[in-house]
Amino acid sequence: MADIIQKVKNLSIGFRSKKGEEILILKNISTNIKKGETVGIVGESGSGKSTLALAMMGYVKHGLYTVGGECQFNSSNLLKLKGKDLEKIRGRKIAMIPQNAGQALTPNLKIGYQIDEALQLHSDLDEIQREKKISELLNKVRLPSPETIALRYPHELSGGQQQRVAVAMALAGTPDLLLLDEPTTGLDVTTQAHVLELLNFIAKDTGTSMVYVSHDLGAIAQVSDRIIVMYSGEIVLEGPSRDILKRPIHPYTHGLLKSIPKLSLAGLPESMPGSQPQPGIIQRGCSFFDRCSFSDENCKNNSPHLEFLKDLNTSVRCFNYEKLFKEGQVNQTVNKIKNKSQDKEILNLSEVSISYAKQKLLDHIFNRISDDNPTVKDININIKKGETIALVGESGSGKSTILKSIAGLLRTKDGLIRFDENRNLSSDLKERDPNDLRVIQLIFQNPDESLNPNHTVEEIIAQPLKLYFGLKGEELKKNIIDLLQKVRLGEFYTSRYPRQLSGGEKQRVAVARAFAAKPDIILCDEVTSALDVSVQAAVLNLLQQLKEDFGTTYIFVSHDLAVVRAISDRVAVLYQGRLCEVGPSNDVYKFPSHPYTEVLLGAVLEPDPDIKPKLVAEDIVEERPPEKGCSFQGRCSRIVGDICKKEIPPWQLTDSGNAIRCHIPIKELQKEQF
């Protein structure tokens, strides 16, 4: 067929282990990319999706080698091309947009110069034409005032703008194929939605084929015409985007869609057991066998082939896809969580402000912090025993900062943190007594960093047990095994090191360590955002179960509104370190909302081609909060006049007990948003 621009044929890529065994990262991959279509490759970390995308531009990572097969582009095998021939294709015919544009741009060269470099390499334009082309490109990626942007350095742009520049650079060579490796993963929710919308526009406008690699089904759903689902180095499902998202006929995709929290459903989704096997482990049978709820004896012994179903235009690697086909659409069921909070207040923040300003000499002497416009200001929250409260906001909203102050890791400027109705907690660790330290424990975002790589699981969990309870010997061991069982890990994990565990297992160990202290409050800092999608629901379910068993209170920080919806009883929305809206989670997710909440809710990406994000506000990034007036004035689309710029908005209560801080009366907000 003439309209196929890249043909991947029986591609296998692998590496050699220390023992000399050949271990495959990609197993016999065949697919075609057609002209003008956008293909989404989705998979968890380690599924081989990035390796496949890189192979499509003729690149194999150091340490890996091509075992067999080819990547055909313009009738030449990219994996065999060398030097000059490859240079002619890369950048000119196939361009790549990296995950982190901030790191991909050279920090000490101006934006315009960097795009010019790409143009010099990949086009035959002369200097004057190039200059015109630069502003044309910057215009195309919708950067405001291209002339001034071209004269700036990368660090002067926000993450979203940097990503746009990367897109502009990739378009410089007018490529036929654009490879995007997780291009929106590091961006804020609102920015992410804007960048995806831009990519959609470019795909239509230029007719460029795109390969969009991501772990995020929500993002994939917004851009792709066709989806390839990868698992453990194999294609398990390939077909038209809508069919795959609506009626997935492979158990992995089916389970995945079931386990992703959705905005429309309050409660915890079902979780998928286990985690993706490491490369080289599966010798026989289907690689999804032990996690599959449709498997039988046949799946254990024989590996299924990728079967093409003509009437569905879909390829599937499963023996039992018919069962799923009969089941039809994904019926997501959730376990509704009950709000079991008691009336007793366990933690109260009143008038808390936190400043990152550098202290002057005088301030040092008087031991005070002087800053008129602190990063976090006027935080008043009271948290009841046994509830889960979520702090939500984009990066820079101060949510983690507040968490640090509660943990005693960051000094507050003003305000009081009161524990258990009568104990004032100092925001300085050294002034807290050991019991105050014990009752508040932290779980971090990235378990790779929160577990000491040189300690075994046993040593990790033993630390709080030894420190707070002075346990030793048999009793210590018994407690450790007990805790491991509570987080559903077996006894044999005690002698393992963190590097031998999967992401989900590591996070379970971190959870066990937090619970070892028998705390009253656990601070969860983005605990699921570093985890794979299929593991996320399992960790959320575990946290919920433990909470019910122990009556713990969670303060949950996240940027993911769907996850927050699933687990929290109450939500506090923050912008620039100021509270915008506080209320029961059911009400925060319903209108009327604070204009910022409205923006956030509109930008959430759902794995459903029918739900498009609503882009309400500009994706400007503000560096510091405004001196006066409403914190959201810079981006608000519902601004009512001077009052927003001068006066701090009042708290208004909705009928359901939801507090919104806005100058617009609730009634009007309700009218406008419905």
Partner 1 sequence: MKLDNIYKEEKKSAFAKLSEIIFTMASRPSGLIGLSILVFHIILAFVSPYIAPHDFKAIDPTLMLQAPSAEYWFGTDDLGRDVFTRTILGGRTALTITFFGSLIALLWGGLLGIFCGLVGGKIDDVVMRIVDAFLSIPWILAMLLIVSLLGTSTEVLIPALGFFYGKGIVRVARAATHDVIAKDFIVSARARGHSNFSIIWNEIIPNVRDAILVEGAMRWSWMLLGFSSLSFLGFGVSPPTPDWGLMISNARGLMSFAYWAVIAPIVGLSSLIIGINLTADAFAKALGIDRSTKAPV
Residue of 66, 200, 380, 463 interacting with partner 1 (CB under 8 A):
463
User: For residues 511 and 501, what is the distance between their CA atoms, to the nearest angstrom?
Assistant: 14
- Residue 48, interface with partner 1 (CB under 8 A)? no
Distance of CA 107 to the CA centre of its chain: 25
CB of 639 to partner 1, least distance (A): 39
Stretch that binds partner 1, among 56-64, 138-146, 180-188, 557-565 (CB under 8 A): 56-64
CB of 6 to partner 1, least distance (A): 22
Which pair of tokens denotes residue 669? Answer: 């907000």
CB of 458 to partner 1, least distance (A): 9
User: For residues 45 and 51, what is the distance between their CA atoms, to the nearest angstrom?
Assistant: 11
Stretch that binds partner 1, among 154-162, 290-298, 495-503, 593-601 (CB under 8 A): 495-503
- Residue 278, interface with partner 1 (CB under 8 A)? yes
Query: By rule CB under 8 A, what count of residues binds partner 1?
Result: 47
CB of 500 to partner 1, least distance (A): 6
Give 492 or 674: the residue with its C-beta nearer to partner 1.
492
Residue of 135, 426, 456, 529 interacting with partner 1 (CB under 8 A):
456
- Residue 107, interface with partner 1 (CB under 8 A)? no
Sign of CA dihedral 412, 416, 419, 425: positive
Contact 556, 630 (CB under 8 A): no
User: For residues 182 and 49, what is the distance between their CA atoms, to the nearest angstrom?
Assistant: 10
Contact 391, 568 (CB under 8 A): no
CB of 521 to partner 1, least distance (A): 12
String of contacts with partner 1 for each residue 414-433, x by CB under 8 A: ---------------x--x-
Phi and psi, residue 106, nearest 5°? -70, 125
User: For residues 37 and 641, what is the distance between their CA atoms, to the nearest angstrom?
Assistant: 45
User: For residues 161 and 168, what is the distance between their CA atoms, to the nearest angstrom?
Assistant: 10
Helices (H) and strands (E) in the chain, counts: 26, 26
- Residue 455, interface with partner 1 (CB under 8 A)? yes
- Residue 451, interface with partner 1 (CB under 8 A)? yes
- Residue 530 corresponds to which amino acid? A
- Residue 476, interface with partner 1 (CB under 8 A)? no
Give 63 or 473: the residue with its C-beta nearer to partner 1.
63
Long-range CB pairs of 259-262 (<8 Å, 24+ gap) are 259/533, 259/534, 259/536, 259/537, 259/538, 260/217, 260/218, 260/533, 260/536, 260/537, 260/562, 260/607, 261/537, 261/540, 261/560, 261/562, 261/563, 261/565, 261/566, 262/332, 262/562, 262/565, 262/606
Give 19 or 310: the residue with its C-beta nearer to partner 1.
19
Residue of 80, 300, 360, 499 interacting with partner 1 (CB under 8 A):
499
- Residue 442, interface with partner 1 (CB under 8 A)? yes
User: For residues 611 and 253, what is the distance between their CA atoms, to the nearest angstrom?
Assistant: 19
User: For residues 241 and 239, what is the distance between their CA atoms, to the nearest angstrom?
Assistant: 6
String of contacts with partner 1 for each residue 58-77, x by CB under 8 A: ---xxxx-------------
- Residue 497, interface with partner 1 (CB under 8 A)? yes
- Residue 279, interface with partner 1 (CB under 8 A)? yes
CB of 519 to partner 1, least distance (A): 10
Residue of 91, 233, 269, 464 interacting with partner 1 (CB under 8 A):
464
Interacting positions 548-587 with partner 1 (CB under 8 A)? none
- Residue 517, interface with partner 1 (CB under 8 A)? yes
Stretch that binds partner 1, among 196-204, 365-373, 404-412, 544-552 (CB under 8 A): 404-412
User: For residues 155 and 149, what is the distance between their CA atoms, to the nearest angstrom?
Assistant: 12
Degrees to nearest 5, angle at CA 393 with 391 and 397: 100
Residue partners of 629: CB distance under 8 A and separation at least 6: 643, 644, 645, 646, 647, 648, 649
Cross-strand partners of 583: 571
Cross-strand partners of 341: none
Give 32 or 446: the residue with its C-beta nearer to partner 1.
446
Which pair of tokens denotes residue 79? Answer: 């994996």
Residue 396, CA atoms < 13 Å, CB-side half-sphere: 14
Give 246 or 404: the residue with its C-beta nearer to partner 1.
404
Residue of 109, 121, 409, 620 interacting with partner 1 (CB under 8 A):
409
Distance of CA 148 to the CA centre of its chain: 32
**Closest C-alpha among 285, 272, 279 to residue 319:** 285
CB of 164 to partner 1, least distance (A): 23
**Closest C-alpha among 372, 373, 386, 376 to residue 349:** 376
CB of 492 to partner 1, least distance (A): 10
Contact 35, 207 (CB under 8 A): yes
Residue of 5, 6, 15, 146 interacting with partner 1 (CB under 8 A):
15
Give 90 or 578: the residue with its C-beta nearer to partner 1.
90
CB of 406 to partner 1, least distance (A): 10
CB of 413 to partner 1, least distance (A): 19
Burial per residue of 619-645, b for 16 or more beta-carbon CB atoms within 10 angstroms, e otherwise: bebeeebbeebbbbbbbbebbeeeebe
CB of 407 to partner 1, least distance (A): 5
Residue of 453, 490, 641, 650 interacting with partner 1 (CB under 8 A):
453
Give 15 or 589: the residue with its C-beta nearer to partner 1.
15
Residue of 450, 528, 534, 558 interacting with partner 1 (CB under 8 A):
450
Phi and psi, residue 155, nearest 5°? -70, -15
Residue 349, CA atoms < 13 Å, CB-side half-sphere: 24
Stretch that binds partner 1, among 125-133, 493-501, 623-631, 634-642 (CB under 8 A): 493-501
Give 443 or 542: the residue with its C-beta nearer to partner 1.
443
Cα separations in angstroms, 166 against 67, 97, 443: 32, 6, 34
How many beta carbons lie within 10 A of that of residue 530, not counting itself? 18
Interacting positions 16-45 with partner 1 (CB under 8 A)? 17-19, 21, 23
Site for partner 1, rule CB under 8 A: 15, 17-19, 21, 23, 61-64, 278-281, 407-409, 429, 432, 434, 437-438, 440-442, 444-446, 449-456, 463-464, 467-468, 495-497, 499-500, 513, 517
